Structure 1
């Protein structure tokens, strides 16, 4: 028995440490905000029922599914893709360290025209992610869905969220329930408040903090070693820059996310450890743009969480049954987590040093199709008295905002009262008519 265990262990180590990407059975699966949902999700249908309780109201914020690279990602990706022929040429000259099959896969790859012509659009895989999510919500909440007094489904004004809403409702309805999707609006301060907040655009999104922390991390021995290793692995003579590596990383993680086989020949350029280092760069960027890096981010989640409080209060006061689902972006969900004090690290995320065991890890927090759901339950105790409890899910895994499993109605109100009557007046401290500010907003 011991000998078998040793053989199994050695086989596992050899297979999982194989340097050829094409046959690596244990390849890295976490790519920050471009992680495939199925790699990290739970299944809401597996959540144990609350004894003597029934769900009466659901509120969810859902990220769109897998998408094509955005217009802001494409230039660095296309520039990096131009290195392909040089990498192949160096290999044929006997340089570099890539495996033969990895080179063959790279030779056969080409940038598909649809990627460039439909930037940011939902992919087929992304549509399926949201439809399957809707199916699981249908199965878990079926009694409630059949007895709703009101429902509300609304996306942002983007193709990827509009199609995600359509896919989710398709799965939720299962062909016999009737739901309507509200039209997306040009300005939505619940679903995308940061997009219209001039203070956030100037001080955070286009502010220096995120860039400074990223630059700081680029200078660490850990990241410099990544540059050195990729240079050696590809055999390229021209020194690679952080921008080059960023483009190569995006070619790896975007293409892997929506390939039917979930592979990308560009991932062969990195070891699993190096992919974890590049994942941290993604976490730094999101931490400062959407998370605890600025108190502005937490304020921007106020209107959404205030709406959640009002919906549940209405259900309690008027005994109504409701289901609300918004379709937004990873920025919005990360702002919600920050406002609730979730996934906070001490010391904070910075460019000084990577924290391998950090809580703020976008691969788990906001993969494609990420979702934050709150469920209001009406419960009856042994004496027949009615009380309400609130249950939370993050990516279909039960999350305990209160102990042991749910928040009592009093605990819920205490935590969410701070968001009542939230507004975005603090955003309007700049003169939006200035040419400089207009150029910043157009560039988002």
Structure 2
């Protein structure tokens, strides 16, 4: 919850959509786990292939070739999945619930909302609004028309850590854990029992590498182009004071989760305590809230919440930042926020 300072406050929220159903977007080599490069499992794999794998696991155990305990094996026997193809990439019930719950926890009034063209983004916005407004939507909310294989990553995917994990995961068939757990939140997933903590850490590192060089600090162009949301927040706050996902990119634009050492294909063993972690910053429903407070003596202050936790803004003296400090931090971002110029510049590779 937002810590309430004395006086009035204005809030700007930036959030990823809630949990969605998987996509059915086959890629070349998609059947090879190591060639998938962190992409979500295809819809047909969940609907068609997983029941076949489930039956194969059970048959292997009946033949004396298996490593799951009796309880995990029974959970696997009981596992079923029913996702109609028309639900591809649509917002799942668990996603509706999590966005509604976030809205209930952020009870600040809503005057305007924006979302991308994706149905899951629009539905997430509506369910968030229902959470804020108590399961009803008001005419005062404006819903505008929505706007429209890295070698380094492949090196790690083809490396010994992933090879060992693929061997282990293939042996115990834990392919379905991620989506099964997200779609049916709060329920025990028999597929997750197939994964050890070490397996999960290696799989997470694949995503960490992917998003670090796709959306994060790996290339300057990634985080520089996320300047518009920062400009929007600064403009909104300035209009009040003066009287008038891209989640990973935006977090990088603010300077969050930046490690001293960049993750590489060969640094997995040394990065266990890294800040850049997709488990924290790229999950469904990840959100960032900027709050402008008007305190005693008409002093304005700013707070920033990432996933509902008060987060220190780099460059501010304290977690509650004086508006003058905040303005000085965002001014260079505003002055250099020229997407045409940014995208024409070649990216600077980070070794």
- TM-score under structure 1 length normalisation: 0.67
Contact 2:102 2:131 in 1 (8 A): yes
Q: Counterparts in 2 of 1:37-436, with a 5 A limit? A: 44-45=1-2, 47=3, 49-50=4-5, 53-72=6-25, 73-74=41-42, 77=46, 81=50, 82-114=52-84, 116-138=85-107, 141=108, 145=109, 151-174=111-134, 178=138, 179-187=140-148, 208-209=149-150, 212-233=151-172, 248-249=174-175, 251-318=176-243, 331-354=245-268, 355-380=271-296, 385-401=297-313, 402-420=316-334, 422-426=337-341
Contact 2:115 2:125 in 1 (8 A): yes
Structure 2 unpaired stretches of 5+: 26-40, 346-351
Deviation at 1:186, TM superposition (A): 4.1
Structure 1 unpaired stretches of 5+: 1-43, 188-207, 235-247, 321-330, 431-444
Show CA shifts across 1:205-239 (max 9, x none): xxx43xx23322234433232233234446xxxxx
**In structure 1, the residue corresponding to 2:232 is in which secondary structure?**
helix
Contact 1:56 1:378 in 2 (8 A): yes
User: In 1, distance between residues paired with 2:137 and 2:326?
Assistant: 31
User: In 1, distance between residues paired with 2:77 and 2:86?
Assistant: 23
Contact 1:162 1:184 in 2 (8 A): no
Contact 2:223 2:252 in 1 (8 A): yes
Distance 1:231-1:158 versus aligned 2 partners, 3 A rule: closer
User: In 2, distance between residues paired with 1:62 and 1:76?
Assistant: 28
Contact 1:303 1:423 in 2 (8 A): no
Show CA shifts across 1:179-227 (max 9, x none): 424133243xxxxxxxxxxxxxxxxxxxx43xx2332223443323223
Show CA shifts across 1:327-375 (max 9, x none): xxxx301111111111011211122122111101121123221111111
Show CA shifts across 1:87-134 (max 9, x none): 2221111002112332233233334132x3311111111111111111
**In structure 1, the residue corresponding to 2:113 is in which secondary structure?**
strand
Distance 1:294-1:126 versus aligned 2 partners, 3 A rule: same
Show CA shifts across 1:396-424 (max 9, x none): 11011123221112210111112326232
Deviation at 1:167, TM superposition (A): 0.6
Contact 1:255 1:263 in 2 (8 A): no
Aligned residues: 322
Contact 1:373 1:393 in 2 (8 A): yes
CA RMSD of aligned residues (A): 2.4
Contact 1:66 1:122 in 2 (8 A): yes
Deviation at 1:277, TM superposition (A): 1.7
Show CA shifts across 1:14-36 (max 9, x none): xxxxxxxxxxxxxxxxxxxxxxx
User: In 2, distance between residues paired with 1:379 and 1:260?
Assistant: 40
- Structure with the larger RCO, 1 or 2 (CA within 8 Å, 6+ apart): 1
Distance 1:316-1:219 versus aligned 2 partners, 3 A rule: same
Once superposed, which parts of structure 1, at least 4 consecutive aligned residues long, lie more than 6 Å away? none
